[in-house]
Amino acid sequence: MKPLRKVAALAVLLVGIFAFSKAEMSSEKLSLNLDNINVIETLSKQQFECRPTSDFMFYVETDLVKKIRGANNVNAKVYILDKVSGRKALLADENVQIKKFEGAIELKDHSASTNFKSSLIKNGDLIIGNAEVAPYTFNELIQYESIYNSYLNSTNKLLRLKRSI
């Protein structure tokens, strides 16, 4: 009787392992097709409606590129996420310089093309160059409240800052 229980327990364990391993291996995310989505219109609706849309979510990921005296250079990437399918697409990818204190010297180190014009964000951060070709510019998207709030949250978490929204 005991060998029969061992065989049954082993069979249940093996079926459980193999049943979940196939689903985990096939859960590869595909990129989202931006041709069918009007990003600016979706952002405008989120800006002026009292309830955000449940179809798409916008978020910003930041990575530290370079620490310099008086400032940090950060790479900011803006993504759109389809909540239903889980697919995401890159909207903008640019480098931003965040000053550590007011009055710090701005070092405009452009790794991008020479015709790029740097611009200021409303909190004083400086957009210094695009890192990768993307369908939108960071300056164009940061004007919307959902992306600006996500940018501030991401940089606060990355650099351990306490900037308010």
Give tens-digit pLDDT for 72-130.
999 999 999 988 888 899 999 999 999 887 766 666 555 544 556 788 898 889 998 87
Report if residue 38 sits inside a domain.
yes
3 falls within a domain:
no
Read off the pLDDT of residues 127-143 as tens digits, 9 standing for 90 and up.
Answer: 988 777 889 999 999 99
Is 7 inside any structural domain?
no
Q: Which domain holds residue 113?
A: 26-159
Q: Classify residue 20: in a domain, yes or no.
A: no
- Residue 4 in any domain: the answer is no
What amino acid occupies position 53?
T
Residue 19 placed within a domain: no
Give which of 55, 28, 27, 30 is closest to 41, Cα–Cα. Answer: 55
Does residue 83 form part of some domain? yes
Structural domains of the chain, count: 1
**For residue 17, is it within any domain?**
no
The verdict on pTM exceeding 0.85 is no
